[in-house]
């Protein structure tokens, strides 16, 4: 353990962060935690993790789709998967949350959709589990423009059983993530937005919500965030937009 020096950590972190900045920050934080424990247990006198800012993630600004672009993307999807685009943007759902939705999670009378389960696929198979945090388990109001599509989708594609998957493939079973990705890739190419990821629709929806005046607490609820840190990003975006509008308005004021 004494062979782990600050110089060695600096070189390792620099090489990893050059290609994968977020992974580099996460890995450094984990190593720092391990070495702090080693100090507490007296295996080391001091921790060699002393790189200022190495554990801080600086996520790049993601692109934001407009309302018109989201509709165009939905229209470019196969009809049975169109709902995925609309729920991702207007209800700010993650891909795993979309794939985990079942008939029982939709309440047309109240106009809501509930996130109770996520579904992901790994090399070892499909994993279904509850959201990581209590904040991730949430019930969301579906906007009227999406509710009509949701009702049509339920009547046209979803099985009658409560546990029937909401997003289905051509044979009626739960859609495979690879099929959803292929349809999404074709749709974003069609509308000439190849830079957009499916997750960016969630980012767009939260940005729209912040611009409409949503509070931090409301953004946290819609996004399923356990802390306000992530939600604050959308408030900052709104503040920046307010400044741009204020500057534009000032340009039209009479000069004194």
**Which positions ≥6 away from 64 have C-beta within 8 Å?**
200, 203, 204, 207
Domains of the chain: 1-60 (no CATH), 67-194 (1.10.443.10)
* Each residue's pLDDT tens digit, 238-253: 655 555 556 666 666 6
pLDDT class of 234 with cuts at 50, 70, 90: confident
pLDDT class of 256 with cuts at 50, 70, 90: low
pTM for the full predicted model: 0.72
- DSSP secondary structure, 110-124, as one string: TTEEEE--EEEEETT
The active-site residue, picked from 80, 82, 95, 202, is 202
Consecutive H or E run containing 161: none
In 52-150, which ranges are E strands?
A: 106-107, 112-115, 118-122, 125-129, 138-141
- pLDDT for 221 beyond 70: yes
Question: Which strands make up the sheet holding 138-141, listed edge to edge?
Answer: 106-107, 112-115, 138-141
Please confirm, yes or no, whether 202 is among the known catalytic residues: yes
Please confirm, yes or no, whether 20 is among the known catalytic residues: no
The active-site residue, picked from 36, 110, 185, 199, is 199
Tokens 């165009």 — which residue?
72
* Each residue's pLDDT tens digit, 43-95: 888 999 989 888 887 655 678 899 999 999 999 999 999 999 999 999 999 99
Segment of 9-23, 127-141, 148-162, 204-218 carrying the highest mean pLDDT: 148-162
The active-site residue, picked from 80, 94, 119, 188, is 94
Please confirm, yes or no, whether 199 is among the known catalytic residues: yes
Please confirm, yes or no, whether 225 is among the known catalytic residues: yes
Please confirm, yes or no, whether 94 is among the known catalytic residues: yes
Q: Is 230 exposed, middle or buried (0-12, 13-18, 19+ CB in 10 A)?
A: middle
């Amino acid at each position: 353990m004494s062979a782990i020096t600050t110089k060695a950590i600096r070189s390792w972190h620099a090489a990893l962060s050059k290609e994968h900045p977020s992974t580099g920050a996460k890995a450094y934080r984990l190593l720092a935690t391990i070495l702090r424990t080693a100090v507490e247990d007296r295996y080391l006198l001091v921790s060699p993790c002393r790189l200022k800012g190495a554990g801080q993630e600086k996520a790049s600004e993601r692109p934001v789709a407009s309302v018109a672009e989201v509709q165009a993307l939905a229209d470019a999807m196969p009809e049975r998967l169109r709902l995925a685009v609309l729920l991702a943007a207007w209800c700010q759902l993650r891909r795993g949350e979309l794939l985990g939705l079942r008939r029982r999670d939709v309440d047309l009378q109240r106009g809501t959709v509930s996130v109770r389960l996520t579904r992901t696929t790994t090399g070892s198979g499909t994993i279904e589990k509850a959201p990581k945090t209590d904040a991730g388990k949430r019930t969301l109001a579906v906007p009227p423009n999406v509710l009509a599509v949701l009702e049509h989708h339920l009547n046209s594609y979803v099985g009658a059983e409560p546990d029937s998957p909401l997003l289905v493939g051509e044979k009626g079973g739960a859609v495979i993530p690879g099929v959803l990705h292929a349809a999404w890739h074709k749709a974003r190419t069609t509308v000439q937005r190849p830079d957009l990821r499916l997750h960016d629709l969630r980012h767009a929806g939260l940005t729209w919500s912040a611009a409409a005046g949503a509070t931090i607490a409301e953004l946290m609820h819609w996004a399923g965030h356990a802390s306000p840190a992530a939600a604050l990003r959308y408030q900052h975006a709104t503040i920046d937009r307010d400044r741009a509008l204020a500057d534009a308005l000032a340009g039209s004021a009479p000069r004194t």
